[in-house]
Amino acid sequence: MLAMNYRGPFRVRIQQKAMPEIQHPQDAIVRVTRSCICGSDLHLYHGLVPDTRVGTTFGHEFIGVVEEIGTEVQNLKVGDSVLVPFNIACGKCVFCQQGLYGNCHESNPQATAVGGIFGYSHTAGGFDGGQAQYVRVPFADVGPMVIPEDLDHDDAVLLTDVVPTGYQAAEMGAIKPGDTVVVFGAGPIGIMAAKSAWLFGAGRVIVIDHIEYRLEFVKQYAQCEAYNFRSLEDVVLFIKKTTGYIGADVCIDAVGCEAAGNAMQTITGRKLLLQAGSATALHWAINSVKKGGVVSIVGVYGPTDNLVPIGNVVNKGITIRANQASVKRLLPRLIEHVREGRLNPKGIITHRVPLEEVADAYHIFSAKLDNCIKTVLIP
Ligand code: NAD
Ligand code: ZN
């Protein structure tokens, strides 16, 4: 089969690879019909996630058709169209039992933080991902959901990660009616977080990024304010001023570690931080949230040595909530929002390309070219 293949930082290519096989009675093999590239994939692509091995296939946002099932699989049958949450979850461990499907112990027993994730390095269990014609899906009775007849498949593929993650970012913010919510990052996740913030009753939503086309996009899509941090003299001061020197009620980090560190350089006098992953947005979030406010982090930090002003977190009594999204827990609610028109996931898809063009697709998304927001690969 054809599959995306990681060759090292900034190098991916399409390659022939052996077909995945059932390895466990609870596995299914899925023929992929749509597979997105995520901002999280960029951290792998940029070489920022430990133990990303050459030869692995990325891709944790995919839908497809069940091709084969293991002998113990009961909830799926061959031919079903399924959406597959990015978390690989056993459904039975102590974490899954609490709805923490992103922290499943069984799918990645070696790790202390994250559960298994499709196509996300050996740190996340070493599973091959769905930027391929076929993918092996472990614990097939737990994660995959048969796509309801009335759900558009473009919406479905975005429900595997982007929508639940953006939504959970807002949920973790514990937004109260009328709150001012500041979202750092106008990528797919920040866009969806901004959109979701209104669903929790926000009174004002502000998005910060430095890519003009994305700021324009989010303004329209999420009906919010959007500012370019390069044209603000001081981001923290700007947020303080615009909130009557109180600070934002909720700040959301939807940035994560950045390869180029280009955002990092905007923190003057803190050159030291350049060696770490890009923690700029986190600084801004912590420093511009009000006292007693909430910082909600969904940005992924690959390297472990990000320096953060943790003392300020303590002194300001900020609540930081962070996690991998618990897709399965949120899906029923989100599908209702899509059905009733409150969320329009497919509205963020800007690129639809054959899997064979995966190398170009990564370059375009990584370099933020061609007004790219979200790319769907079609195997
Ligand atoms: P993306 O790369 O498309 O978007 C990130 C955006 O942040 C870009 O537009 C970039 O210009 C902007 N940015 C960079 N530095 C900034 C700064 N200092 N302030 C404000 N904006 C800044 O990625 P995405 O797909 O939107 O994903 C965003 C983050 O969410 C990534 O770190 C990704 O790994 C993470 N993520 C987390 C989960 C989860 O479950 N927790 C799931 C999916 C994605
Ligand atoms: Zn993703």
H, E, C per residue of 22-56: CCCCCCEEEEEEEEEECHHHHHHHCCCCCCCCCCC
- Per-residue pLDDT band at 300 (split at 50, 70, 90): confident
Arithmetic mean of pLDDT, 293-304: 81
What is the Å distance from ligand 2's center to 314 Cα?
A: 30
pLDDT of 249 above 70: yes
8 Å CB contact between 257 and 41:
no
pLDDT of residue 322: 80
Q: What is the DSSP string of 204-247?
A: EEEEEES-HHHHHHHHHHH--EEEEGGGSS-HHHHHHHHTTTS-
Q: What separation in Å is there between the alpha carbon of 118 and the centre of ligand 2?
A: 10
CA distance linking residue 30 with residue 65, whole number of Å: 5
pLDDT of residue 281: 84
Arithmetic mean of pLDDT over the chain: 90
Report, as an integer, the average pLDDT of 125-148.
98
Helix (H) or strand (E) holding 291: strand 289-297
Minimum-distance ligand 1 atom for the alpha carbon of 264 = 18
Distance, in Å, from the CA atom of 29 to the CA atom of 14, rounded to the nearest integer, reads 20
Residue 150 has pLDDT above 90, yes or no: yes
Among 122, 123, 147, 139, which Cα is nearest to 56's? Answer: 122
Q: What is the sign of the dihedral through the CA atoms of 305, 308, 313 and 318?
A: negative
CA 161 to centroid of ligand 2, rounded, Å: 5
Q: Which ligand is nearest to the CA of 42?
A: 1
Residues with CB under 6 A from ligand 1: 38-40, 42-43, 161, 165, 184-190, 208-211, 214, 229, 254-256, 258, 263, 278, 280-281, 298-300, 324-325
Check residue 118 and report its DSSP letter. Answer: B
- pLDDT at position 264 is 41
| Ligand 1 centroid, distance to 144 Cα (angstroms) | 25
User: What's the number of CA atoms in the CB half-sphere (13 Å) around residue 40?
Assistant: 22
Q: Which residue has the tokens 């933020």?
A: 368
Between residues 310 and 365, which one has the greater pLDDT? 365
**Residue showing tokens 């390309």:** 353
Q: For residue 343, report the distance from its CA to the centre of ligand 1, in Å.
A: 20
pLDDT score at 315 = 57
Burial profile 163-179: b = 16 or more Cβ within 10 angstroms, e = fewer? bbbbbbbbbbbebeeeb
Quote the pLDDT of residue 260: 47
73 CA to centre of own chain: 28
**Predicted pLDDT of residue 307:** 55
Among the residues of the chain, which ranges form H helices? 39-45, 153-158, 162-172, 188-199, 212-222, 235-242, 280-288, 310-316, 327-339, 358-366
Give residue 305's pLDDT band: very low, low, confident or very high (50, 70, 90): very low
d(CA 141, CA 72): 9
Q: If pLDDT is split at 50, 70 and 90, which confidence band does 170 have?
A: very high
pLDDT of 306 above 70: no
Confidence class for position 317, pLDDT limits 50, 70, 90: low
> What pLDDT sits at residue 318?
73
Our separate counts of H helices and E strands in the chain read 10, 17
pLDDT at site 83 = 98
Residue nearest to atom 3 of ligand 1 (CA): 187
- Residues 338-344 have a mean pLDDT of 97
Closest residue (by CA) to atom 10 of ligand 1?
A: 185
Percent of the chain past pLDDT 70, that is, above it, reads: 90
Q: Which of 189, 196, 228, 235 to mutate to test the pocket of ligand 1 (most atoms within 8 A of CB)?
A: 189
Give the strand pairing for 145-146 and 134-137. unpaired
Distance 247 CA to ligand 2 centre (A): 30
Q: Whose Cα sits closest to atom 30 in ligand 1?
A: 299
pLDDT of residue 233: 84
Residue 230 banded pLDDT, cuts 50, 70, 90: confident
**331 and 164 in contact (C-beta within 8 Å)?**
yes
Q: Which ligand is nearest to the CA of 194?
A: 1
pLDDT per residue over 66-107, tens digit each? 999 999 999 999 999 999 999 999 999 999 999 989 989 999
| ipTM of predicted assembly, 2 dp | 0.99
pTM above 0.90, yes or no: yes
Between 336 and 319, the more confident residue is 336
- What's the 91 CA to ligand 2 centre distance in angstroms? 21
Contact 31, 65 (CB under 8 A): yes
User: What gap in Å lies between CA 23 and CA 18, rounded to an integer?
Assistant: 14
CA distance 347 to 337: 14
